[in-house]
Amino acid sequence: MKDKGKIIYLIPGQGADGRLFKNIQIDGYETAIVEYLLPEKGETMAEYARRISAQIDSTRPYSFVGVSLGGMIAVEMTKYMNPEECIIIASAKSKEDIPKRYQFFRKYFPLYRILSGRFFKLSTRLAQPLFEPLTKENQALFRDMLKRKDPKFMKRIVRCIVEWENETYREDIIHIHGAHDHTLPVKSANPTIILTEGTHMMTLSMGEEIAELLNEYIK
């Protein structure tokens, strides 16, 4: 029997909010959405994750489920917290899971430092339907979530991602990835589980399949 005293913390991606998990049902447990803060100027991913971790009630058993950026935050938090499970979806465990092109642009063309947050919002809105198609309903939801994002948040969090230098992670992290993820291609990701029809947006588009896996791995 599952322990109903445990809480599952759901951490969305950078362009999303708690509605990303609308199709995710984790049986027997309370869930809570981790809310993003505005990164401080120059703040690293590790520093940002530590501030985020103040939202975790460590007096109760807990687990992390993080999507994309949320997975990276979860990886960092497991270094000094002790979740019973840490599951990341369409994400990365270390800088080795991130495509080499990100490192190339960071080193030789660091345009992310001068481009505006509005640019990142617009480029995400335009690129998403081309590379990660969704139903009309989910497309409308994604656009609304992205619309609500503070441009300053987008600019600063992109810098956190591109400059993430993590090399270590807990070995029992469960990494679920899609074979058709164009944002973080599976060939770079080294995941635990590959969903053959999965994309970077599969938490929305394949919610039932993702929920089955979460219910299997969360004890």
What pLDDT was estimated at residue 130?
46
Per residue in 10-49, pLDDT tens? Answer: 999 998 999 999 999 999 999 999 999 999 999 999 999 9
| Count: domains in the chain | 1
DSSP structure string for 89-153: ES--SSGGGS-HHHHHHHHH--GGGTS-HHHHHHHHHHHHHHHS---HHHHHHHHHHHHTS-HHH
Range in 56-60, 180-184, 209-213 the model is least confident about = 180-184
48 domain-assigned:
yes
Considering the chain, what is the average pLDDT of its residues? 88
1 domain-assigned:
no
2 domain-assigned:
no
Per residue in 39-79, pLDDT tens? Answer: 999 999 999 999 999 999 999 999 999 999 999 999 999 99
What pLDDT was estimated at residue 12?
97
Return d(Cα 120, Cα 15) in angstroms, integer: 10
128 domain-assigned:
yes
> 16 pairs with which residues across the strands?
none
What integer is the mean pLDDT of 190-212? 95
Whether the model pTM is above 0.95: no
Q: Which residues contact 130 (CB under 8 A, 6 or more apart)?
A: none
The CATH number of residue 105's host domain is 3.40.50.1820
Q: Domain residues for 164?
A: 7-217
Per residue in 96-147, pLDDT tens? Answer: 998 877 665 555 455 555 554 565 565 665 556 545 668 888 888 888 888 8
What pLDDT was estimated at residue 107?
55
171 domain-assigned:
yes
What integer is the mean pLDDT of 76-88? 98
Strands 86-89 and 174-178, how do they pair? Answer: parallel
52 domain-assigned:
yes
94 domain-assigned:
yes
122 domain-assigned:
yes
What pLDDT was estimated at residue 85?
98
Range in 70-74, 86-90, 161-165 the model is least confident about = 161-165
